Amino acid sequence: TQLLEQSPQFLSIQEGENLTVYCNSSSVFSSLQWYRQEPGEGPVLLVTVVTGGEVKKLKRLTFQFGDARKDSSLHITAAQPGDTGLYLCAGEGGTSYGKLTFGQGTILTVHP
């Protein structure tokens, strides 16, 4: 079973601060996805990265896929209270072809 470890598990910051969430594995993934989930709702896809070293930007969010396709990071600039939620990374590929394996998530709270 391929495992994805996210860190930190909890993050509590003030509005306007920057933050980075990490997603690490010992396995290689064909692609990696980041989701955001609000309480009582299903996860919503933010981005998919497929190429080693790839960087994608989505407004204040920057996503990077590691060169070896084993790790990824999510950086948020000038966090806002609306960014509060559970951030999940999920990997597909390798021995888990066609199966999406999720990390345990990072709970982000942005205080006004």
- Least separation in angstroms between residue 100's CB and another protein is 6
**2 scored as a contact of another protein (CB under 8 A):** no
- Residue 45 interacts with another protein (CB under 8 A): yes or no: yes
Nearer to another protein, 61 or 90 (CB): 90
H-only helix segments in 9-102: none
| Long-range Cβ contacts of 78-82 (<8 Å, 24+ apart) | 78/16, 78/17, 78/18, 79/13, 79/15, 79/16, 79/17, 79/18, 79/19, 79/108, 79/110, 80/15, 80/110, 81/15, 81/110, 81/111, 81/112, 82/110
Contact call for residue 33 and another protein (CB under 8 A): yes
Smallest distance, another protein to C-beta of residue 43, A: 5
Among 40, 59, 82, 112, binds another protein (CB under 8 A): 40
Which residues of the shown chain bind another protein in the complex (CB under 8 A)? 4, 6, 31, 33, 40-45, 48, 86, 88, 90, 92, 97-105, 107
